[in-house]
Structure 1
Amino acid sequence: SVSKVKKGQKVMVGTKSGTYAEKIVVTQERVALALENYTMEENASFLVNYMTAWVLLVKMAKITPGDKVLITAAAGGVGTAAVQIASRYGCSVYGMAGSEEKINLIRSLGASGGYNYRDPDCFKRLLEDTGGVDVVLEMVGGQVFKKSVDVVNPFGRVVVAGFASLDLKKWNPLSWIKTWRDIPRVKVGDLAKKSIAVMSSHLGYLLEEEPGQMEDVLKDLKNFVEKHDIKPIIGKVFQFEDASLAHKHIESRQSFGKVLLKIGE
């Protein structure tokens, strides 16, 4: 029996897989009460993106006020959450995105500087502007990951949240060689030379394997976003029957914030 919530209460669900459906059955450990000051769309945009950013930045990288923080793919769902959290934490935030429109967005969320990762000199300009950063939240992989490690100052931290550069749609040997090459990897000796740390996390596994601990994490996160009046950035909402269009929108690299599927009216 579910004792954590009452019938009729609005809830959010976090799980490793299986949520791409109209209805699901979950244990009470997977259920969290929705934020009362959020709309249902905002709650749907909140749990996974903001907990991912919070775990990586606060629990793992242990950001402190004054830290210089670089966020790659900063205009996406996790990226916009990370910009909001780090800037409200008192950090100097620098974001990378693929267009001027997206750079303007992350600046409006609190970033001190924005860089277009399509510019081959973007990391050089970042280094000139900052003298290096203390923390990187990296979500692209490939050369972006390698260059991100290069701009981290001694005692810095790189936290990895994904590999957006991977192209898993093409099933042929050459594309998979590129995919394998783009997965972030680093030599321990290289880390030792700069005295930096590289870490990663998968929220789905944490939610399933450590539900009690994640409940405490969510409580801290809720208090933080309510204190700082943070609201999720919703880029576009598609009807459930238009799921294929939503995927195409994301694949076009034109999306920003969270892209949602809505079931019913």
Structure 2
Amino acid sequence: MKAAYLIKNGKPEEAFEIREIDKPIPGHDQVLIKVEGFGLNFADVMARLGHYKDAPPLPAILGYDVVGTIDAKGEGVEEFNVGDRVTALTRFGGYAEFAVSDRRAIAKIPDDMDAGVGVALSTQYCTAYMLSIEMVRLHKNDHVLIHAAAGGVGTALIQIAQHHECIIFGTAGSDKKIQSLKDSGVHHAINYRKEDFAEVIRKIVGKRGLDVVFDPIGGSSVKKGFRLLGAGGRIITFGGSAMTQAKGLLGKIRVGIGFGIYHPVAFLMNSRGMIGVNMLRIADQRPHMIERVMKKVVKMTEEGILKPEVGGEFSIDELADSHRFLESRKSMGKIIVRW
């Protein structure tokens, strides 16, 4: 089979190499999936740049989500059959014609579901559900801030927040994305390149503060978001995209310091909370949570509650282009790379 290997950190056009390797063999509780396409996530960019500590040593096959059909299954797999079309989370290895996944990290999808929609469910929509339902519980009229709101996870969070009738604040970095947020029903869309999101929100919510902040950016964005929380508010951090924009070691140090330093007493006295979410860690230690969430997001999509959007489609020969597109922050919705 063919697989796209990350052979060096750096520019996308120099980082990948297509190699011919043997098909993996599924072990106990695993399935082998013939991949139609795999998704791109910001963690892929961070791994390519050498900023993702969970990435395997080079040369490595990246890829956290795929859509395809089950080609083979190992012992212990009873609820799935060869030929079933599935969306799946992969602990790396997704940039290949065949990929292995744990049986608890896959869900059946309809044969007529677009592959881009299917692959969006496994990472973006599972992440959004984990953040907004498993880690916090959204309620009607909650004031919610979603950073990178035009991206894959951001789009999913908007749809879940709308389902719970929340008041939604969303940030994005271009007028085109801001218009897209407004069209999707975001109540307060803020272009962070033109305005300080914290100042804009503070003028609107006053002392009430926000109930929930979803932050995949990191750095000073987290510190600002924490200060916007009202009593009972929570900030959920689930990424560090600011690190990819940092230049040199000094820039990375600035991003790290920008997160701020927090004493437990501050959480207690102000009744605020901070939760960090790493989906790989949850998949490793709480696979039953992933299984539950996978089934739930597929069901909500079939019911029309969730409506995944495809933000870009590329062929495997355009892998470098797909990375550049995601890194440019011009994408809206899920990016899929097809074999």
Question: TM-score, with normalisation over the residues of structure 2?
Answer: 0.71
Task: Quote the RMSD (CA, aligned, Å).
Answer: 2.1
Amino acid at match of 1:102: K
Shift of 1:43: 0.1
Name the residue aligned to 2:204: 129
- Runs of at least 5 residues in structure 2 that lack an aligned partner in the other structure: 1-74
Alignment CA distance shift 1:128-1:261 (3 Å): same
Amino acid at match of 1:149: F
Name the residue aligned to 2:42: none
Q: Distance in 1 between matches of 2:260 and 2:241?
A: 11
Q: 1:128-158 CA distances to partner (integer Å, 9 max, x unpaired)?
A: 1233211111111112111111111111111
Q: Does 1:250 align with 2:311?
A: no
Shift of 1:93: 1.0
Alignment CA distance shift 1:184-1:223 (3 Å): farther
Task: Point out 4+ residue stretches in structure 1 off by more than 4 angstroms.
Answer: 182-185
Identity %: 29
Name the residue aligned to 2:23: none
Question: TM-score, with normalisation over the residues of structure 1?
Answer: 0.90
Name the residue aligned to 1:236: 312
Alignment CA distance shift 1:220-1:45 (3 Å): closer
Name the residue aligned to 1:138: 215
Alignment CA distance shift 1:148-1:154 (3 Å): same
Shift of 1:35: 4.6
Name the residue aligned to 2:183: 108
Shift of 1:74: 0.6
Name the residue aligned to 1:148: 225
Q: Distance in 1 between matches of 2:232 and 2:246?
A: 38
Name the residue aligned to 1:74: 149
Choose 1 or 2 for highest CA Rg.
Answer: 2
Q: 1:211-251 CA distances to partner (integer Å, 9 max, x unpaired)?
A: 22322233333333333442211111111111111111112
* Secondary structure in structure 1 of the residue aligned to 2:319: helix
* Secondary structure in structure 1 of the residue aligned to 2:234: strand
- 1:177 corresponds to which of 230, 238, 253: 253
Q: Distance in 2 between matches of 1:39 and 1:206?
A: 27
Shift of 1:5: 1.3
Q: Distance in 1 between matches of 2:255 and 2:137?
A: 30
Q: Distance in 1 between matches of 2:310 and 2:287?
A: 27
Amino acid at match of 1:20: Y
Name the residue aligned to 1:195: 271
Indicate the structure with greater strand content.
2
* Contact 2:105/2:287 (8 A) holds in 1: yes
Q: Distance in 2 between matches of 1:7 and 1:87?
A: 37
Task: State the number of aligned residues.
Answer: 262
Alignment CA distance shift 1:40-1:173 (3 Å): closer
Shift of 1:123: 1.6
Name the residue aligned to 1:22: 97
* Secondary structure in structure 1 of the residue aligned to 2:299: helix
Q: Distance in 1 between matches of 2:293 and 2:104?
A: 14
Q: 1:146-204 CA distances to partner (integer Å, 9 max, x unpaired)?
A: 1111111111111111111112786x432332343345653323323321000011122
Q: Distance in 2 between matches of 1:240 and 1:212?
A: 32
Alignment CA distance shift 1:226-1:109 (3 Å): farther
* Contact 1:207/1:214 (8 A) holds in 2: yes
Shift of 1:30: 3.0
Shift of 1:120: 4.1
Amino acid at match of 2:216: M
Alignment CA distance shift 1:57-1:185 (3 Å): farther
Amino acid at match of 1:74: A
- 2:137 corresponds to which of 38, 46, 62: 62
Name the residue aligned to 1:33: 108
Q: Distance in 1 between matches of 2:249 and 2:238?
A: 26
Amino acid at match of 1:157: R
- 1:93 corresponds to which of 154, 168, 171: 168
- Runs of at least 5 residues in structure 1 that lack an aligned partner in the other structure: none
Q: Distance in 2 between matches of 1:173 and 1:54?
A: 34
